[in-house]
Each structure stands twice: as C-alpha cells, then as structure tokens.
Amino acid sequence: MDNNATDNLEDLFAHNRSWSARMERDRPGFFTSLVKQQTPKYMWIGCSDSRVPANQITGLEPGEVFVHRNVANIVVHSDLNALSAIQFAVERLKVRHIMVVGHYGCSGVQAALEGARIGIADNWLRHIQDVRDRHHVMLDTLPEAARANALCELNVAEQVVNVAVSTVMQDAWGRGQSVTIHGWAFGVHDGLIQDLEITVDGTKAMENLYRAAVQRIRYKWSKPAETPTSEYIK
C-alpha cells in the first residue's frame, strides 16, 4: 500500500473521531440513545453513486433513514437483498415512507440507454434496458440530450411499481399498515430533489398512477431543456 492510501485512511479515522466527539459534545447522550433503538420513518432506495448520499442531502441524522442502495436504484422481483431490506424496514421498523430515488447523470442509466458493455453489470442494467425498450417510441421522440434524464425518471417510476407489487408491500397494505412509496429524482448538478409524483399508498389503481407519471415525464422532457442534460453525466 502506498503512503497516500495510508494517509487517506488515517484521515478517515481522524474525521470519524472528531465527528463523534462533536456530536457527543453538541448533543450529550446522542450515541447512547442510538444504541437502544432505531426508529426511522423513512426507507431510501437509491443509487450507489457516491454523489447521492441519502442522509446528507435530506438533512437526516443517524437513526432517521434506513438505506438500501445498488447500481441505478433497481428493485428486481427476485432480489433477496432488496426484498429483505424492504421487509425489515416495513415489518420491523414500521417505516411510513419508502422513497425510490434516481439521479440525473446516472452512469448506469446512461449505459443502459446506449447499450454500452461494462461487464457483469450489463445483466443488472438489462432491467433498465427493459424500461428503455418499453418506452422506446416515446424516448425516440425526445431531444437526444433529454433521453437519459427521461429514462432516469422512467426507471424510478418502474421501480416504484416493483416495490408496490412486492409481497412485502401487498401484505402490509392487506394488514392495513400505512406505508407510502414515492418516486424522486436527485439533481447532482444542483443538489435538489424532485418529486416525480408517482406516489403509491395501496389505495389507488397503480396502473393509472404509472400511466400519468409516464405522461408527465414525456411532457416535461419534450420541452426545451430547463434542467440537466447529458453534460452533467460523468
């Protein structure tokens, strides 16, 4: 290991110690209360991208949001990792809101859009290519620079549905548990979250919500760009 890498890791421990000391100084007993329980109201399903840290961009503290992240915020019907996290959040922690959060400039979405070969992740991103293919007529009519942003939002809508149709959510709503799923998109370029208004609480027909969300996405990205374009993609 070279010296730089060692230095960097030592920096992380130093930052950690000063953060811990600052928290304990400002809010005595903060960590002892965390030890006893976590009672987050929110579950965040987001992209692993290092520019989209759930707690920081929502101002939430340790103990306030239960987080699941993977490449391009995908919820696959048979993904035991995601399903286990959702079940734990809903049944044990009793979260009230689950937000599926995509982000503009997502390299996973971009790769899926272009059909770029990355490696094993191609198989994972195939799920986004399925979304792309489902909406290819609409995507083809959009300005080229808007397509990745539109696909980012379409992917969020799709994953909201995938969470909603999971056995975990169907059982929760069947029991009368109040949990609402939201679809959001984060702008790496401005740090702002947008609500895509695909909000599912188990009481309304999901098909209609999904269709309305897709219409909004088409309308929004048909217009001349006012928000991020592909220049934000890194």
How far apart are alpha carbons 225 and 187 in whole angstroms?
14
Residue among 42, 51, 69, 75 at smallest CA distance from 155:
75
Catalytic residue list contains 152? no
When asked if residue 79 is in the footprint of Zn ion (CB under 5 A), the reply is: no
Q: Contact, 108 vs 145, CB < 8 A?
A: no
Residue among 103, 127, 147, 182 flagged as catalytic: 103
Catalytic residue list contains 103? yes
Q: Which long-range contacts (CB under 8 A, 24 or more apart) does 114-120 make?
A: none
- Calculate ∠ Cα 104-188-135, nearest 5°: 5
Residue among 47, 79, 132, 147 flagged as catalytic: 47
Of the two residues 47 and 169, which places its CB atom closer to Zn ion in the complex? 47
Hey, how many other C-beta atoms are within 10 angstroms of the C-beta on 174? 10
Of the two residues 5 and 120, which places its CB atom closer to Zn ion in the complex? 120
Residue among 68, 79, 97, 106 flagged as catalytic: 106
Min dist. Cβ of residue 159 to Zn ion (A): 12
How far apart are alpha carbons 120 and 39 in whole angstroms?
36
Question: Rule CB under 5 A: which of 108-167 touch Zn ion?
Answer: 108
Residue among 84, 47, 50, 228 at smallest CA distance from 166:
84
When asked if residue 82 is in the footprint of Zn ion (CB under 5 A), the reply is: no
HEC sequence for 45-103:
EEECCCCCCHHHHHCCCCCCEEEEEECCCCCCCCCHHHHHHHHHHHHHCCCCEEEEEEE
When asked if residue 106 is in the footprint of Zn ion (CB under 5 A), the reply is: yes
Catalytic residue list contains 27? no
When binding is defined by CB under 5 A, the residue of 40, 43, 46, 49 that contacts Zn ion is 49
When asked if residue 43 is in the footprint of Zn ion (CB under 5 A), the reply is: no
Residue among 49, 68, 79, 132 flagged as catalytic: 49
When asked if residue 57 is in the footprint of Zn ion (CB under 5 A), the reply is: no
Min dist. Cβ of residue 103 to Zn ion (A): 5
Min dist. Cβ of residue 220 to Zn ion (A): 20
Catalytic residue list contains 49? yes
Of the two residues 155 and 166, which places its CB atom closer to Zn ion in the complex? 155
Min dist. Cβ of residue 108 to Zn ion (A): 5
Where does this chain bind Zn ion (CB under 5 A)? 47, 49, 106, 108
**Active site amino acids:** 47, 49, 51, 103, 106
